[in-house]
Amino acid sequence: MEDPSAAQEHNRRAWNDRVRKRGRFARPAADEDFIDPLKKLDALGWLGGDIRGSRTLCLAAGGGRQGPIYASCGAIVTVVDISGEMLELDRQVAAQRKLHLTTVETSMDDLSMFADGSFDLVIHPVSTCYTPVVAPVFQEVARVTRVGGLYISQHKQPTSLQADIRPSPHGYELLEPYYREGPLPPVQGSRHREEGTLEYLHRWDQIIGGICRAGFFIEDLTEPFHADTSAKEGAFAHRSRYVAPYVRIKAQRRAPPDTELIKKILWTP
Ligand SMILES: C[S@@+](CC[C@H](N)C(=O)[O-])C[C@H]1O[C@@H](n2cnc3c(N)ncnc32)[C@H](O)[C@@H]1O
C-alpha cells in the first residue's frame, strides 16, 4: 500500500505551483459570484435557503472561491487545504471583500485540530482524487460533523478516470482497469485531469460505500451536466456526452447506534 503522505506532499507542491501559474481552479471568485451567492452555490436547494451562522468547513477548497462565497452568505467559514498558496488566495479575497474566514493548512485526512461535531456543514469540492486512500477522509469528516449536519461533496467519477481523453471510432475507450493501484498515468491537455498532480481512481464502493460506512445517510446524488450535442469531437463537452465527469453527493450525519438499547433488545427474552 502506497504511503499517502508522499502523494500529499507531491500534490501540495503541485497546487502551490498552479497558483503561481494562475492555473484552472486557482482563480479567485469574481464580482458576479457575489451577486446572488446562495443561488450560485446551491441551485438544487440542498442547503435550505439560509446558512447564516452555520459553522461551515470548506474542505480541500482553497483558491479564493468557495470560502469567500460561503462567508458572504453569512456562514462561519473555515477553509482547509494542503496548499498554503491556495489558502493565501482565500485570505486575499476575504480581505478585499471585508469577509471573515479562518484558514487551516492540513491534509483532508487529518482534521485533528477540530473537536468532534465542530461543523454544521462540510462542503467538499472535487479533491478526493488527490489522495491514494479515501476512507480516512470520510472518517475525519464524520467525526467533525455534528449529528444531523450535512456533508456535500463532489468527486471525479471512476469511469471518467478510466476512459481515454481522446475519442476513438468507438467513443471513448476504457484504458484503465477499474481495480487498480497507484496514481493514474499523467495526461496532457485534458480538462478532466490536473497536470502535475498525482490523481487516484476511487471506486464507487470506496466513495458511496465509504461515506455511508463513515456514518452518513445519503439523501441525494446528482451528476452535474456538462454534455453538449454541438460540441466538437474530443472537447470536454463532447466527452461528457459519453461519460459524466463528476458526481455530487448530499449526505447527512446520522446518530451513532444506541448500543445500550440494542443490547437490551437482544438480551430481552
Ligand atoms: C480542484 S481544487 C478544489 C477547490 C477549488 N477552489 C475549486 O473551485 O474547485 C482541489 C484542491 O484540493 C487541494 N488538495 C489536494 N490534496 C489535498 C489534501 N490531501 N488535503 C487537503 N487539500 C488537498 C488542492 O490544494 C486544491 O486546492
Q: What is the C-alpha to C-alpha distance for residues 206 and 196, in angstroms, rounded to an integer?
A: 24
- Spatial CA neighbour of 175 closest among 120, 221, 129, 243: 243
Best of 127, 129, 155, 246 for a ligand 1 pocket test (most atoms within 8 Å of beta carbon): 127
Q: Is the CB of 107 under 6 A from ligand 1?
A: yes
Residue 73 near residue 52 (C-beta atoms within 8 A): yes
The number of the ligand 1 atom at minimal distance from the alpha carbon of 12 is 25
- Spatial CA neighbour of 161 closest among 211, 135, 109, 197: 197
Written as tens digits, the pLDDT of the chain (269 aa) is 578 899 999 999 999 999 999 888 888 999 999 999 999 899 999 999 999 999 999 999 999 999 999 999 999 999 999 999 999 999 999 999 999 999 999 999 999 999 999 999 999 999 999 999 999 999 999 999 999 999 999 999 999 999 999 999 999 999 999 999 999 999 888 888 999 999 999 999 999 999 999 999 999 999 999 999 999 999 999 999 999 999 999 999 999 877 787 788 887 76
Q: Taking the model in full, what pTM does it have?
A: 0.95
Q: What is the C-alpha to C-alpha distance for residues 142 and 117, in angstroms, rounded to an integer?
A: 8
The number of the ligand 1 atom at minimal distance from the alpha carbon of 15 is 25
Q: What is the C-alpha to C-alpha distance for residues 69 and 41, in angstroms, rounded to an integer?
A: 8
Q: Is the CB of 134 under 6 A from ligand 1?
A: no
Q: Is the CB of 153 under 6 A from ligand 1?
A: no
Q: Is the CB of 62 under 6 A from ligand 1?
A: yes
Q: Is 48 exposed, middle or buried (0-12, 13-18, 19+ CB in 10 A)?
A: exposed
β-bridge partners, 246? 156
Q: Is the CB of 88 under 6 A from ligand 1?
A: no
* Per-residue CA distances from 76 to 1, 43, 121, 134, 255 (Å): 38, 21, 10, 26, 23
Best of 10, 25, 112, 248 for a ligand 1 pocket test (most atoms within 8 Å of beta carbon): 25
DSSP β-ladder status, 216-222 and 246-253: antiparallel
Q: What pLDDT shows up at residue 256?
A: 82
Q: Is the CB of 15 under 6 A from ligand 1?
A: yes
Q: Is the CB of 131 under 6 A from ligand 1?
A: yes
What 8-state DSSP symbol labels residue 183?
Answer: P
The domains found in the chain, sorted by start residue, are 4-267 (3.40.50.150)
